[in-house]
Structures are given as structure tokens and as C-alpha cells.
Amino acid sequence: MTPLRLTHFTATSCLGRGLTATLQALLQARSGLSRCHFETVELPTYIGEVAGLDAIQLPPKLQRFDCRNNRLAQIALMQDGFDAAVRSAAERFGPSRVGVYLGTTTSGILTTELAYRHLDENSGALPEDFDYAGTHNSFSVADFTSRQFELAGPAVAVCTACSSSAKVFAAAQRMIAADQIDAAIVGGVDSLCLTTLYGFHSLQLTSTEPCRPFDLQRDGLSIGEAAAFALLERGPAQDNAAAVWLLGTGESSDAYHMSSPHPDGAGALSAMRAALNAAAVAPEDVDYINLHGTGTPSNDSAESRAVTTLFGRATPCSSTKGATGHTLGAAGALEAVICALALQSGLMPGGLNWRERDPQLEVNYLSANRRGPLRRVLTNSFGFGGANCALLLGRAA
Amino acid sequence: MNTLAGCIQAIGLVGPGFTDWSAARAVLSGEVPYVPARTVLAPPAVLPPAERRRAGRVIKIALAVGAEAAAQGAADVRTLPTVFTSSGGDGDNCHEICVTLASGDRQISPTRFHNSVHNAAAGYWSIAYGCTEGSTSLCAGDASFGAGLLEALAQLACGAAAVLLLAYDADYPPPLHAKRPIPDAFGTALLLTRAEETAALARLQIRLSDAAAATMQNPELESLRALIPAARSLPLLQRVAQRRGGTVVLDYLGDVRLAVELQP
């Protein structure tokens, strides 16, 4: 594929709002996870919560989109100069030539969960002010984002569970390659809700402590929330050295089980291989891998097998979910932004909460930050239903 | 702007009064009158018994229309990339989860939880057919059919030899139904190949447009088109059924529509 430039990018997660706060937390090896006190949830687990969402106001003309998920999107869209970059792209290319491709799993379903506590006693009806399309529907955040910038190009939510906002890069790339658009807002937004907290608990996949990806004693994930965005455009062949490029994307399906990965990581392997092939890059030319690394016993062992099969045991890799939690539909985009920061700052973030090596996991797992020049990094995202996606990012395409 | 193009090789369809594409084709071409009836959804034979029992309406309709199009087009489903698109996913399952979470006992069932993901139908499809190709699951609200068509044709433009597009919606139970009044389940699947192939049914090209969208003359079919996002495909499917060329404009995102140029 022809490389595309991430001309602007930004993220908000439990690590903080914006790129500076995110990079600082990574440099300091600080986790944003805390004991779960979300809403009325009573579960023995840790979460990565974004503080201050209750105080966020959406623009007056977009009030019908008001929900936790779109408030989180609003924060991220307005920081790090991202909104100005989008407006400039819309001016340069025209509003119909800028697409919106966003990943989410639960959208604003928290609003629906709370509304079900207030059904009309006689009729069973939802409260009058409940707005289905503005909050509940998966498209809400993409619609909200498109309207925020008065865009008139294609807009869609990609909803492939925890690979959603990695796959948006692939979908947008295809539309740019097919010359249907010149630029795309890609990203992911997912926010805390009862469905995912109680749902992952029901599958016995949540840890009772801050998640410990790739650790011998890992026993589950910590759920987080995040909004992460990038602006994808074609770029000039010669560019400044700090520019970050999308070099390759790879997608596959496990065809194995709805909520467990293929034990050998067969689907993960073919997604990573496809991303390298798309970029014509050899495995030894990848300097760092940001793992999906959820901290569940099955994910990490399957992913480790897939990585060692393709890369051997030397390529440095880590999961940043010990810092951010698993932000589900936002994880792909959040980790793409972390990889972009890694490329620019020469930081391979060490995986947090790691204590003891699991002899079954043979990858070169970084348990502490490492510095060094990075040219190409890979990030993995795998979702329920066996939906896999790997992205290859790099400098100076 | 380059247009996106492809060939329709086969169609699957299930909806109110329509048991399959051949029944729909006969109605849409005017050979037989439309007789409205509640959509009948069979348990997907391709799933193992436990999954078959638990399959909700959206999984049933997605697998039914996909299987019909793939069989009609004699496609090798194990190597066929898929684009699933739906405005809402499994409404019954979502309702049950919300009821449980609003109750005193919030323990939701693990099966309900993993079936709550928007890509559940895609997951079951890939497992049932052993398809390890890439698959995406999209939602663009009322614009979901158009979003799926754009994605499928973009995949062809980027080198895929064939893509199966599955667009489907099912009705919500109360109380969500009052807020999202989809009247019944409707789904259609298009087996698409690259434009330079020989088209079994029609060759199509699409571009964004601000022209007025086509409507259905029959008021009952127009009501399906207006109320079920996947049924926004009906004016296109009617042209294919009538083996008629020309341009048909489909509703997509608000004022942004899709102009589809068809060549039988």
C-alpha cells in the first residue's frame, strides 16, 4: 500500500488528556488504573477511568449527542490542535473529501442502561428525553464527529469489538487509495459502562488487581476508557524526520471461538504477516511491537506464540494496557497513538505491573522503559468474534 | 473523482413477505403482487445445535441472506472477505442485558455478553464456514447499507477479487422499539466481484450525490425502504430484478446520497 501520513493525532485516557500528559505518564511508568468506584458498580476490579467527564459540555447544536462517550470524544477532538487540523483539511480538500472512520464497542449505551432504571411505571416506556440515535446507536460518535466539523464525506463506525479502532485505519486507507476521499479522521472512542464491566466479569476475564499483561500470575484484564484520533492524509515523499506514517495494515478472522482466541494465535499471525506484506517490510525490520496484551491467560499465550512464530524471540515488545487498561473499541487507536509517540520520542514503553516471567511466553517482553531510535513499530488488536488487525507504523516512509 | 465499481454476481434476500431473492425478484420485477407478511427466520442450519438455539434474529437473518448469495454465486466462502453492516445489532439481546443491569441482580450471562458485540454475526459466520479472511462489521445508523456498499467496493478497488456484503436489521422489542421503530427484520446480501468480470446480474458504479433519492411506487415497499435501513437497497434491487440499466439514487447520510449507475 502507499503509505499515509498521520498529520495530527491525539489521545485522552486514564493517563491524562492529550499527548504531553500521555507521554509523561509513559516516561514515568505511571499507571492510570484505580480501584473501581464507577457509578453504582460493585465489582472487585480495577479500571482506567477518565476524570472530569461529568463537567464536559457539548456544543449547543449537538446537545442531542450528550452522553459519556461523546463527551470523551469532545475532549480529545478539541485538544492538541486536532480540531484546527481537521478544519484545515476540510478547507483544503472540501468537506465531502474528508471521511470519518471511528471504532467503538458500546457507544453511549450507559445512557440506555441508566434509562432502564427509570422506565414509566405504567407503560414501561423509556424516559421522554432518551435519544436513541444520539447516544445509544453505535454510529453516534461518528455522526457527532462529522457534524462537529460539518463534514459531508463518508462517515461510519467500525464495530469489530476490541479491534474496531485498528480496523478504521484499514478502512480509511482503502477509501483514500480508491480516491474517494483525500483525508480521514480515524480513531476510537469507548467509555465505561455496566455492560462491559459486568460482561467481562461474567466471562471471568477481569482481574481483581491492576492487570498484569504477560506476567506469570496474570489473571485477567482491567477495563479502561479512551478517545484517540488521527488525521490520515497522503503525504509528500520527502518529509520531516518526525513525521509518522501508516505503512501497512493486516486483517484476519480466527474462525475459532466467539470469545477465546485461537490457542496458537493463527489469526493474530496472519494479521501481522499481512501488515508486513502490505508494507513490504521484513520481520527483522520491526523495532518494537505494542502487543494486544490484555492480561488474560489465553490472549497473552496465543499472542506470544504468534509473535515468536513470525519475529523470533528478539524483537522488543510490551503491552501498555497495564497503564491504560483495556480500552476495548478505543484500544487500537490509542495504541496507534502510543506507537506514534514511541516513534517520535524513541521510547519503548515497558509493560507495567509485570513481576515474573512466564516460561511459556517466549517473546522479548520489556518490563521497563527502553530508549533507542525506532523506525518501524507494529501494534496488534484482537476482538471478540475473532476479528484481528495489525498496523505497521513508521518514520520517513 | 474516480467512481467505485463492481459486478453483482448473486443476491440473497429475506424480509417481510420475502422468503428469498427469487421470491423478491418476482415481486420487484412486477410479475407477482407484493403480499406483506411477518419475516420468517429459520434457525441457521450451519451452526452447531447450541449456537443455533441461542441465535438471535440478526444472526439468523445475516447468515440466511449470506448463505443464499454465496450459494447462488457458487462462491468459496472459506476464502471470501465479508462486509457486515447493520444499523443496530441484536436488539432483543441488548434489551435483556439492560433489564438485567437495571435489576437487583446484575449478573448477565456470558453468552448474552459475547452476543452483544456488533460483529457477533460475523463471528458466527467465520466460525461456521471456517473463513479466516478479513471481515468487518459496520454501523452507520440509517446509512448502514450505503456505508457497507462503499466499503465492499473499496475492498474490490484495493485488490480483493470478490467480497460478500451482508446488510441486515431487525426490530427492537419494547421499550426501545418506541424510540427506534424498525417494523420487522430485513436483510440482503450481495456477492460482488471486480468490475472487469462478467456480471451475472448487473455491473454497478457508485458516487456520492445530492440528487433526490428514488422511492418505491408500492406504498408498502416504500414503507419498508423508509423504516428499515437495510431496505434502502430496494430501489437498487428493483432495477436488478427488472434488468433495467440507468442511474438510481439511494438514501445514505442525510443530504449525502449514493448515485448507483447500473448496467444489466
User: Per residue in B89-130, pLDDT tens?
Assistant: 899 999 999 999 999 999 999 999 999 999 999 999 999 999
Taking the domains of chain A in order of start, what are their residue ranges? 4-395
Distance CA A382, CA A388 (A): 4
Q: What is the count of residue pairs from A and B with beta carbons less than 8 Å apart?
A: 215
Instruction: Give the model's pLDDT for residue A302.
Output: 98
- Is residue B223 situated within a structural domain? no
Percent of chain A with pLDDT over 70: 99
CB contacts, 8 Å: A105 with chain B = 117-118
Please determine, for residue B1, whether its predicted confidence score (pLDDT) is greater than 90: no
How far from the centroid of its chain's Cα atoms is residue A11's Cα? Answer: 9
pLDDT confidence of A236, banded at 50, 70, 90? confident
Q: Annotated catalytic residue: which of A8, A136, A262, A326?
A: A326
Chain A residue with the nearest C-alpha to that of B159: A174
Binning pLDDT at 50, 70 and 90, where does residue A111 land? Answer: very high
Average pLDDT over every residue of B217-234: 98
**Domain CATH number, residue B76:** 3.40.47.10
By the 8 A CB rule, do A393 and A230 touch?
A: no
- H-type alpha helices, chain A: 19-27, 68-77, 82-93, 109-115, 140-148, 164-177, 194-202, 266-279, 297-311, 321-324, 331-345
Which chain A residues are within 8 Å of B118, Cβ to Cβ? Answer: 105, 138, 159-161
Longest dimension (CA), chain A: 67
Concerning whether A326 is annotated as a catalytic residue, the answer is: yes
Q: What is the DSSP secondary-structure string of A350-377?
A: PPTT--SB-TT--SEE-SS-EE---SEE
Question: What is the reported pLDDT for A239?
Answer: 64
On whether residue B80 sits in a domain, the answer given is yes
The tens digit of pLDDT for each residue in A1-53 reads 999 999 999 999 999 999 999 999 999 999 999 999 999 999 999 999 999 99
What is the pLDDT confidence band of residue B50, given thresholds at 50, 70 and 90?
confident
Distance from C-alpha of B205 to C-alpha of B3, rounded to nearest angstrom = 6
Q: Which domain holds residue B55?
A: 4-200
B216: Cβ–Cβ under 8 A, 6 or more apart, which residues? B222, B224, B225, B234, B235, B238
Q: Is A37 a catalytic residue?
A: no
Kindly determine whether residue B175 and residue A143, on different chains, have CB atoms separated by under 8 Å: no
Helix (H, G, I), strand (E, B) or coil at A132: helix
Contact at CB, A203 and B155, closer than 8 angstroms:
no
Spell out the alpha helix ranges (H) of B130-251: 144-157, 176-179, 219-227, 234-242
Question: Which chain B positions have a beta carbon within 8 Å of A266's beta carbon?
Answer: 132
Instruction: For residue B87, list chain A residues with Cβ-Cβ distance below 8 A.
Output: 137, 139
Task: Provide the pLDDT for residue B230.
Answer: 98
Q: Give chain A's mean pLDDT.
A: 97
Type of residue found at A290? N
- Residue B212 included in any domain: no
pLDDT over 70 (residue B24): yes
User: Quick check: A178 and B109 CB within 8 A?
Assistant: no
Does residue B146 belong to any structural domain of this protein? yes
pTM confidence score? 0.98
* Minimum CA–CA partner of A253 in chain B: B132
Q: How far is A314 from chain B (nearest CA, A)?
A: 28
Kindly tell me if the per-residue pLDDT of A55 is higher than 60: yes
In the predicted structure, residue B51 carries a pLDDT above the cut 90 = no
Please choose, from the candidates B23, B37, B65, B32, the residue with its C-alpha nearest in 3D space to the C-alpha of residue B220. Answer: B37
Out of A231-240, B43-52, B193-202, pick the least confident: A231-240
B4, B151, B253: best to mutate for the A interface, most A CBs within 10 A: B253
This complex has an ipTM of 0.98
Question: For A204-222, how does the pLDDT look when each residue is reduced to its tens digit (9 = 90+)?
Answer: 999 999 999 999 999 999 9
Residue B14: phi and psi, rounded to 5, are -140, 135
Residue A397 in this model has a pLDDT that exceeds 60: no
Q: How far, rounded to the nearest angstrom, does the alpha carbon of residue A395 sit from its chain's CA centroid?
A: 20
Q: By three-state DSSP, how is residue A199 classified?
A: helix
CA distance A65 to chain B (A): 14
The pLDDT score that the predictor gives to residue A240 is 78
> Could you say which residues from 122 to 151 on chain A have a Cβ atom under 8 Å away from some Cβ of chain B?
123-126, 130-133, 136-140, 142-143, 146
Tell me which of A67, A262, A292, A389 is the catalytic residue.
A292
Alpha-carbon gap, residue A172 to B154, rounded angstroms: 10
Percent over 70 (pLDDT), chain B: 100
For residue B121, the model assigns a pLDDT of 97
Half-sphere exposure of B137 (CA within 13 A, CB side): 36
Question: What kind of architecture, by CATH, is found in domain A4-395?
Answer: 3-Layer(aba) Sandwich (3.40)
Nearest CA in chain B to A155: B140
Chain B residues close to A158, C-beta within 8 Å = 136-138
A262: distance to nearest CA of chain B, Å?
A: 11
Residue B153 resides in a domain: yes
B238 within some domain? no
Question: Tell me: the pLDDT tens digits for A176-203?
Answer: 999 999 999 999 999 999 999 999 999 9
User: Any residues with CB less than 8 A from the CB of A131 and at least 6 apart, and which?
Assistant: A64, A65, B179
Bridge-based pairing state of the strands B186-193 and B162-169: antiparallel
Of the residues A97, A180, A223, the best mutation for testing chain B's interface (the one with the most B CB atoms within 10 Å of its CB) is A180
Amino acid A238: pLDDT: 62
Please judge whether A175 and B208 are an interchain contact, meaning their C-beta atoms are less than 8 angstroms apart. no
What whole-number distance in Å separates Cα of residue B171 and Cα of residue B180?
A: 8
Give me the pLDDT at residue A241, please.
Answer: 77
Helix axes A266-279, A297-311, angle to 10 degrees: 40
Q: CB distance B120–A258 less than 8 Å?
A: yes
Q: Is residue B210 a part of any domain in this protein?
A: no
Number of structural domains in chain B: 1
Contacts with B67 (C-beta within 8 Å, 6 or more apart), sequence order: B12, B44, B46
Taking phi first (over 0 means left), then psi (-120 to 50 degrees means alpha), and beta for anything else, what does residue B258 get? Answer: beta
Could you give the dihedral angle defined by the CA atoms of residues A326, A331, A58 and B208, in that order, rounded to the nearest 10 degrees?
-150
Please tell me if residue B93 touches chain A, with a CB cutoff of 8 Å. no
Q: Looking at beta carbons, which residues of chain A come within 8 Å of B127?
A: 255-258, 386
